[in-house]
């Protein structure tokens, strides 16, 4: 079974999104790319919504969003019911957001100087497994209840 990812970015995330797309394809993922490919200014909420809508309508494993810092596009995505977008700054946080929070989106900043290689952060997220633990499930349920 092919693993599928939706990827979107604004003008601040063009380069990092391109690297992420290649990396995901090298890992065998089918990537639905919905981002801009130019540095011409666009609005990140439009790209967050497009990716979230695609994710929610399709059979995707997860989504990746990129903007200048990763902050704006992740905030916009988290406004959409059913999306839990994390903005990890290192491999440890990426692993834990999958294990403990079951985040279905991950965001990156194209203008951020990361201590860990962003592709290794992405790999930590991909390779982690959602933990089915009463404590984590209770917290996730409470988080999802906030959307109501």
Annotated catalytic residue: which of 11, 23, 66, 67?
Answer: 67
**Which residues touch 54 (CB under 8 Å, ≥6 apart)?**
6, 32, 34, 60, 63
- The secondary element (H helix, E strand) that includes residue 67 is strand 62-67
> What three-state secondary structure class fits 16?
helix
Instruction: Tell me whether residue 100 is one of the annotated catalytic residues.
Output: yes
Q: Could you report how far apart the first and last alpha carbons of the chain are, in Å?
A: 34
| Lookup result for tokens 């995330």 | 13
Active site (annotated) includes residue 67? yes
Q: Annotated catalytic sites, by residue?
A: 67, 100
């Amino acid at each position: 079974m092919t693993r599928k990812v939706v990827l979107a970015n604004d003008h601040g995330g063009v380069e990092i999104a391109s690297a992420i797309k290649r990396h995901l394809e090298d890992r065998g993922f089918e990537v639905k790319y919905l981002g801009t490919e130019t540095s011409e200014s666009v609005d990140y909420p439009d790209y967050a919504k497009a990716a979230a809508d695609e994710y929610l309508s399709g059979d995707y494993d997860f989504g990746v969003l990129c903007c200048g810092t990763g902050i704006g596009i992740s905030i916009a995505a988290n406004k959409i019911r059913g999306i839990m977008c994390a903005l990890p700054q290192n491999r440890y946080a990426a692993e834990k957001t999958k294990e403990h929070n079951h985040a279905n989106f991950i965001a990156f900043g194209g203008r951020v100087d990361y201590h860990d290689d962003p592709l290794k952060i992405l790999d930590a997220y991909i390779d982690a497994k959602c933990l089915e633990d009463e404590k984590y499930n209770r917290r996730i349920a409470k988080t999802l209840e906030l959307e109501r």
